[in-house]
Amino acid sequence: MSFAPGQVAGEYRILEQLGSGAFGSVFKVEHVVTHRLEAMKVLGATAPASEEQRLRFLREIQLQARLSHPNIAAVHNAFWHEDSMVMIMELVDGETLQKILERGRPARMEGIGYVVQVLDALTYSHSQGIIHRDVSPANIVVTKAGVVKLTDFGLAKAPYDSRVTATGAMIGSPYYMSPEQVRGIDRLDPRTDIYSCGVILYEILTGQKLFDYESAFSLMRAHLEEEPRPPAEIDPAIPRAVNDVVLRALSKDPRARFPSAETFRKALERAVSPPQERRAAARVLPAPAPGPRRPLLPRFPWRYALRWLAAAVFGVVMAVVLMAAFRWLSRMPFPTAGAASNAIEAQTAADRVIGSVRRVVANVAARHELPALPWSAPPPPPPPPPPKAPRARNRGAAQPAGGQETARGESILAAREQPAPRALESILKLLARTPVVAAPPSQPPSPEAPAADAPREP
């Protein structure tokens, strides 16, 4: 089927033909439902395509459809129409870099801006594992706004994919081929695209092709053997830093080139001077039209608000902790100033404890058949005081109570002759050392009878 303006292919109405080549034709079309203008690339529009061409076109559709970048022409749809394969892609309103170079050398910063955008597109495609392998001015479209679109991924190749070209086949445009492509190396890496970008940058800066030969053989031999003439020798106005960047990108050995497209782009931006030109080279885009400015609203001081909130929370926590500590301390018994008024109760409690211990000691002594101790039983009550006798005139007369005192003293000495065990003595000494608040006596003790709790001399 022949494609002509006015015909409908699928859901697209053909408006006009934009161009044609050995691998197909490109038309400007309109979607019959959305009325969106798009570009339609048809393989075999004028002549039947070979199997290799079909495979190449299919690979272009599949690989380019995986990419989404502002500097890469987007693929929207693809289908078969009768015997022809059709690809619907973004319509780029502009012209190729090849036509721009044919009219003459562009301004230096404008041309560097084009290369910077191409390197951005290659950085993205390389990160997706896709190598273009055919970077040339014919595959770079520049819009009227100065935006670059990289197209024609027909020779693009994913890593370790051997279905596009056979080993030893020459691929790419002869003027912009890398030495690896000339040698026919199948497994190429991203540095082959860096060499092609270097050739384009050389042509933009100098207005001359890197190697200007008529035959393809001479061009391939020059890429392998000849050293390029430094751009600064052709145009002394080119900065030395830019000259060095171009020569590094054109190194014959891939290991001497920039390791990635991003590194190439950063080096090129650093080489451009002065700083205002560096910013212009980063993006050659028109400045947006100034719109109505929105009133600036005062920003809420979140940092200070958070600080005050944290301080408030800390204060509440500390208050709760202090209240809990005060409540706990208020429940603990503390001695008061009126404790001295309870001296009688304290003496009574102490007497009860000492009495209980003494009873336990007496029980232990009785169980083990130990001699009786004066502490093993409660002391006898003091005898009543004897009646007062009339004072005898003869001081040498015998006292009537002297016999009682002698008998009691003998019993005490007899008791002392039988010593108590040392353990009991230690317990009793400990009890004797226990401080007890003495209660005021109800009546004065008799001078003749010793106190019951007074310790006796050994």
pLDDT exceeding 70 applies to what percent of the chain? 61
Q: Identify whether residues 42 and 67 lie together within a single domain.
A: yes
Closest CA to 53 of 169, 187, 164, 131: 164
CA–CA separation, 373 and 123 (whole Å)? 110
Has residue 293 got a pLDDT over 90?
Answer: no
CA–CA separation, 27 and 179 (whole Å)? 35
Q: Identify whether residues 56 and 175 lie together within a single domain.
A: no
Q: How many residues belong to the chain?
A: 458
Q: What total of structural domains would you count in the chain?
A: 2
Residue 26: beta bridge partners?
19, 41
**Of the candidates 73, 89, 105, which is a domain's last residue?**
89
Closest CA to 263 of 168, 333, 205, 191: 191
Show the domain range for 258. 94-282
What CATH number does the domain containing 61 carry?
3.30.200.20
Residue 25: beta bridge partners?
20, 42
pLDDT in the model for residue 406: 47
Q: Identify whether residues 42 and 166 lie together within a single domain.
A: no
Phi/psi of residue 398, nearest 5 degrees: -75, 145
**Of the candidates 220, 254, 282, which is a domain's last residue?**
282
Instruction: Give the pTM.
Output: 0.57
pLDDT in the model for residue 413: 46
Q: Identify whether residues 85 and 200 lie together within a single domain.
A: no
- AA letter at 309: L
Whether residue 328 lies inside any domain: the answer is: no
**Of the candidates 89, 120, 141, which is a domain's last residue?**
89
Q: Of residues 83, 120, 134, 453, which has the active-site annotation?
A: 134
pLDDT digits (tens, 9 = 90+) for 57-113: 888 888 888 888 999 988 888 888 877 888 898 888 889 999 999 988 899 999 999
Q: Identify whether residues 131 and 240 lie together within a single domain.
A: yes
CA–CA separation, 120 and 261 (whole Å)? 7
134 is catalytic: yes
Whether residue 371 lies inside any domain: the answer is: no
CB atoms under 10 Å from CB of 145, counted, come to 10
- Is the bond preceding residue 382 a cis peptide, omega within 30 degrees? no
CA–CA separation, 228 and 210 (whole Å)? 7
Quick one: pLDDT band at residue 122, thresholds 50, 70, 90? very high
Strand pairing category for 24-31 and 37-43 = antiparallel
pLDDT in the model for residue 63: 84
- Comparing 288-292, 327-331, 341-345, 426-430, the range with the smallest average pLDDT is 288-292
Q: Identify whether residues 14 and 128 lie together within a single domain.
A: no
